[in-house]
Structure 1
């Protein structure tokens, strides 16, 4: 594995593990004989190009192109269907690779993972050691690119420039100069903002950084201000660590693949019974259940059921889950089923103690409900008032609303 060090001024704080075309990379990892050939992966409709290899792009194939047109430009094009299950496994492997080195990991998108490297000096005293550890933990067949920098955007830009299986480090002092010749297409902006940059002839990050920040914000708003900071190498966006709550997963490989609904229902019922029989689940309540079915050609069906009221009763859980399974439309014979219990509560009984214990007990129940709502809606649903400067003469500075974190 090759390493490229551009600056030795300051140890980077963030790493970006990047696989630009993850679905294609996952397919090529499973079919190495196709490497170097013009290959395209279709979108869900099977009518357009979702991802294309460098050989295909060199012969006129473009992402979003109608498949018939792509084949017209490149007759030897190898067309592959997207396999969501295979792509998801590759994305999980990338997250696991980063988590093997740092406890602070964020998956920004499938194939784009960030890791906060602060505090790892004792384990990895040199940059080449930590870079090598990250690359060694990732599957070599995916061609992972690694970028190291002091800011999130610069790390991602470095990863996009690095060769597959290699790493590139950009120091803070030289970040702005290094970013200047790169295209503005790297910026996290919507299509309208990109069009505005194109109309003004702002093709590179250096062109954007040369403008006053207030002028960019006047046209593009807060997103424009963040893009300007990113172009200057001053992106302050932190890594938001993934929260891994306690979960219980049961899986079943089916041979031969299941085609009858009754067989699918029976297998899911068995998985539910096995999950509830786990010692770690005994006597506890379940807030959410995720059902997953993978077809023979690796298409994925998935449903999550968040319960109105947590329960540990098998019959009540099955009553909530069965309609989703019966209404499912699978894309083919089922080769694998999995059931995941999530949002497990620490409570081992019902509400009987509520009238006998107050104070701390009510706070525990509030925390339980806050966690339940956060799981259901994907974000904090409760807020509390936080004192900032109670004696300030300006009322707006005295207190603020903050997300309630149980």
Structure 2
């Protein structure tokens, strides 16, 4: 396979700043319809603002931030423009969260030089269509995971091509938090002292399966450069459905929720085992009076979390009008895609710590002036008094 990963960092904030350049130098926080953080600019993230926080918590973390409602229709429209543009290069394009997608170049590339040229042309086409603030970082490799990881090691407007011969060497020092595992699994890896992909890759496959199940084993294959997951174009998106017929019509909502939990739990467990999530859930209810009602919920971020899906199901049930008891239930999970690793800073490596520290440093220097920052250094470690051993250096 030959796979290009196209990623526009901070897609929603970059889109807002493109349309309103006055917001370029100010921390920006976008709020979703539930009054929680949908996206945050790098400056706001450096102050501790994270996706899912309440708007009030974001204000406390970053008082200088400009908070505004997210124009979801605008975000979806621009993302659709991006996907259609990528599909001009290859019809096999798979969305992967906001502002990112895999492109299967297939037989379009015969030589390495031709592949580099084609990838660079894709980047230029995106920049021409969406504008300079939305230029993507590009990663190219034979596997999906390594291509995605490559974008974390390059800047917007640049391409990182990974040689298949050096794939393992490239992956080894990268943080294990790049893996699309759940928070619990990442925490356990941290408790075990596993910080890099190289450390995780060298574990016994049997031990990984015993500790983390099928999802952990698939993640280990990713860490080893053995990811064989294909790019699934939108026209071939997979759906999962489950149907249940009740022996007697049921009208009690709590009982229906219990049935729906047993119905949807195996579907979600299967997604988690395959490192996947669903972007939309559809609920169909058949009533005893031969009437049927259908409702759908689109998730802002694809999920396989049972709690989130059950809350969505309860919300859809509340939207329905009840004229008779329920005879049958059907749940369909749609827009299935690979899980997006969202906890990249849970156990950051040294390079990631330094990168984030530099972001904070630049922000503080812009706000208070560069001459206000000092760095403590151990200049005289052998001095007899502790206060003589350290000195301050001015940060430029």
**TM-score (norm. length: structure 2):** 0.56
Give the corresponding residue for 2:145.
153
Would you tell me which structure has more helix in proportion to its own residues? 2
| Offset, 1:218 | 1.3
Match of 1:30 among 19, 22, 39: 19
* Aligned 8 A contact 1:184 1:202 in 2: yes
Measured at CA, do residues 195 and 305 of structure 1 come closer, stay the same or move farther in structure 2, by a change above 3 Å?
Answer: closer
* Aligned 8 A contact 1:24 1:53 in 2: yes
* Between 72-81 and 19-28, the greater mean CA deviation after superposition: 19-28
* Between 172-181 and 104-113, the greater mean CA deviation after superposition: 104-113
CA RMSD of aligned residues (A): 3.3
Measured at CA, do residues 167 and 70 of structure 1 come closer, stay the same or move farther in structure 2, by a change above 3 Å?
Answer: same
Size of the alignment, in residue pairs? 248
* Aligned 8 A contact 2:282 2:294 in 1: no
Q: Matches of 1:111 and 1:163 in 2, distance apart? A: 15
Q: Matches of 1:136 and 1:181 in 2, distance apart? A: 30
5+ residue gaps in structure 1? 1-11, 246-301, 309-319, 326-375, 380-406
| Offset, 1:216 | 0.9
Q: Matches of 2:294 and 2:196 in 1, distance apart? A: 49
Give the corresponding residue for 2:95.
107
> Is 2:46 aligned against 1:58?
yes
> Is 2:117 aligned against 1:129?
yes
Q: Which contiguous aligned blocks of 4+ residues in structure 1 show a shift greater than 4 angstroms?
A: 122-125, 302-306, 376-379
Match of 1:167 among 154, 159, 162: 159
| Offset, 1:181 | 1.8
5+ residue gaps in structure 2? 238-279, 296-331, 336-396
Q: Secondary structure at the match of 2:57?
A: helix
Measured at CA, do residues 29 and 124 of structure 1 come closer, stay the same or move farther in structure 2, by a change above 3 Å?
Answer: farther
Give the corresponding residue for 2:343.
none
| Offset, 1:378 | 5.3
1:7-406 paired onto structure 2 within 5 Å: 13-46=2-35, 48-121=36-109, 126-138=114-126, 139-140=130-131, 141-243=133-235
Larger Rg: 1
Q: Matches of 1:54 and 1:30 in 2, distance apart? A: 18
Q: Secondary structure at the match of 1:61?
A: coil
Measured at CA, do residues 30 and 324 of structure 1 come closer, stay the same or move farther in structure 2, by a change above 3 Å?
Answer: farther
**TM-score (norm. length: structure 1):** 0.55
